Amino acid sequence: MNPTMSEIKLSKVVVYGLGAMGRPMARNLHDHGILIGVKNRTEGKRQAMINELNLEEFEDDESMLSQADCVLTCVSADDDLKAVIADILDLMSPGSVVIDCSTVSPNTARSVADDLASKGISFIDAPVSGGVEGAKKGSLSIMVGADREQYKRAANVFAAIGSQITHMGRVGQGQATKAVNQVMVAGVAQAVCSALAMAEKCNLDLKKAIEVFSAGAAGNWFLDNRGSTMVNDEFNVGFKLNLLHKDLKICQETVAELGGQLPLIDDSIMEYAKLMEMDHGDEDISALIRLKRHLLSPELDD
Ligand code: NAP
């Protein structure tokens, strides 16, 4: 009996986008024996990865992409993904699939899925959570939007890069889940940064205070992992605030399409934009405490 589409696993993957997330994903796919090539806008990063993983040098992009049964994309934002899809659309083979791990809007996911479908190529939106650390360990949480057959077909790709893989529904639902996740991330950051700025102002013993909060109803991951670094003014850890700002714009657009508005999103966008203007865009999202300190001590503005 011939195998169904979902029983034929993907085995020739190309990673497009070798940034902080794409590089470790490519390494994990290579360790699982299913990476055939890599592509990146800046050529130097591509060559470095080819050398590191001892990958085959293809004659050109066309010969690499036409042999791939899957291209895994991980690029910065909506317009970048659209540019990448336009770049590969005519070079991929019908029957192949694009798995996108970037964070973009649900609308962008649906729109590129339509473009690819016109060439017989499938699309899966698969945004991730877990940061660079999760990408290195292959332990990302992956929110998948795809039809069931494609989801099953991509199981081995997901297993190589993630540990929590959840099928959320049709194309676009993975990105909708990620948008909701980012609202929660922003809300927790708002709460913890405000509270710890207040703890500083009350002259509390901050080490003891963080232990107390962690042990009770206020305990959470962000407090445990970013509490002591932020009170020590260490912001070179974790998730860059310019990426959260970009994600919150997607959340704002999604909520507006639903006919509503969430002040938490609007306020967070405004505050992170202010930090970016102050040249803190590459710092961790916990740098929000800088602004909360000013709210509690307006004299700092003088
Ligand atoms: P990054 O380090 O800035 O890398 C971005 C990648 O996208 C680079 O390879 C860049 O190429 C490529 N790129 C950007 N614009 C492009 C364009 N117009 N055409 C082609 N390639 C383009 O970003 P990252 O941290 O890997 O994040 C990638 C995605 O994952 C983002 O959507 C982000 O929101 C999401 N994400 C990130 C994290 C995290 O902790 N970093 C966590 C979860 C999700 P060049 O090398 O040429 O610049």
Instruction: Please state whether beta strands 128-129 and 140-145 pair in parallel, antiparallel, or not at all (unpaired).
Output: antiparallel
The two tokens of residue 63 are 């010969």
Tell me, yes or no, whether 181 and 137 share the same domain.
no
Which two structure tokens, joined as six digits, stand for 180?
Answer: 């909701």
Closest residue CA from atom 1 of ligand 1: 19
- Tens digits of residue pLDDT in 85-114: 999 999 999 999 999 999 999 999 999 999
Which regions of the chain are under pLDDT 70? 1-7, 302
177 in contact with ligand 1, CB cutoff 6 A: no
Residue type for position 80: D
In a domain, residue 302? The reply is no
Please indicate whether residue 128, judged by its CB atom, sits closer than 6 Å to ligand 1.
Answer: yes
Q: What is the pLDDT of residue 300?
A: 74
Same domain, yes or no, for 146 and 203?
no
Q: Are residues 11 and 149 in the same domain?
A: yes
Task: Name the residue of 41, 47, 76 to mutate for ligand 1: max ligand atoms within 8 A of Cβ.
Answer: 76
Query: Which strand (E) or helix (H) includes residue 188?
Result: helix 173-201
CA-to-CA separations, 272 to 269, 287, 289, 294, 296, in angstroms, rounded:
5, 9, 11, 14, 18
Regarding the beta carbon of 76 and ligand 1, being less than 6 Å apart is answered yes
Q: What is the mean pLDDT of the chain?
A: 96
- pLDDT tens by residue, 182-208: 999 999 999 999 999 999 999 999 999
Burial class (CB in 10 A: 0-12, 13-18, 19+), 244: buried
Tokens read off for 254: 């999604």
pLDDT value for 198: 98
**94 CA → ligand 1 middle, Å:** 26
Residue 249 near ligand 1, beta carbon < 6 Å: no
Between CA 222 and CA 132 the distance in angstroms is 16
pLDDT value for 2: 62
Helix axes 173-201, 221-231, angle to 10 degrees: 50
Please check whether residue 122 is in contact with residue 98, taking contact to mean a CB–CB distance below 8 angstroms: yes
Q: Give the position, in ligand 1's atom list, of the atom nearest the Cα of 103.
A: 32
What is the predicted pLDDT for the residue at 225? 94
Domain boundary among the residues 155, 171, 187 is at 171
- Pair (191, 135) in one structural domain: no
123 and 269 together in one domain: no
Both 197 and 161 in a single domain? no
Q: How many domains does the chain have?
A: 2
281: Cβ below 6 Å to ligand 1?
Answer: no
Residue 26 placed within a domain: yes
CATH number for the domain including 65?
3.40.50.720
Q: What is the dihedral of CA 261, 263, 265, 267, to 10 degrees?
A: 140
Domain span at 55 = 5-171
* Number of helices followed by number of strands (H, E) in the chain: 14, 8
SS3 259: coil
Ligand 1 atom with the smallest distance to the CA of 131 is 40
**Claim to verify: residue 133 and residue 257 sit in the same structural domain:** no
Q: What is the pLDDT, as a whole number, of residue 302?
A: 63
Q: Note the pLDDT of residue 298.
A: 78
> Does one domain contain both 41 and 136?
yes
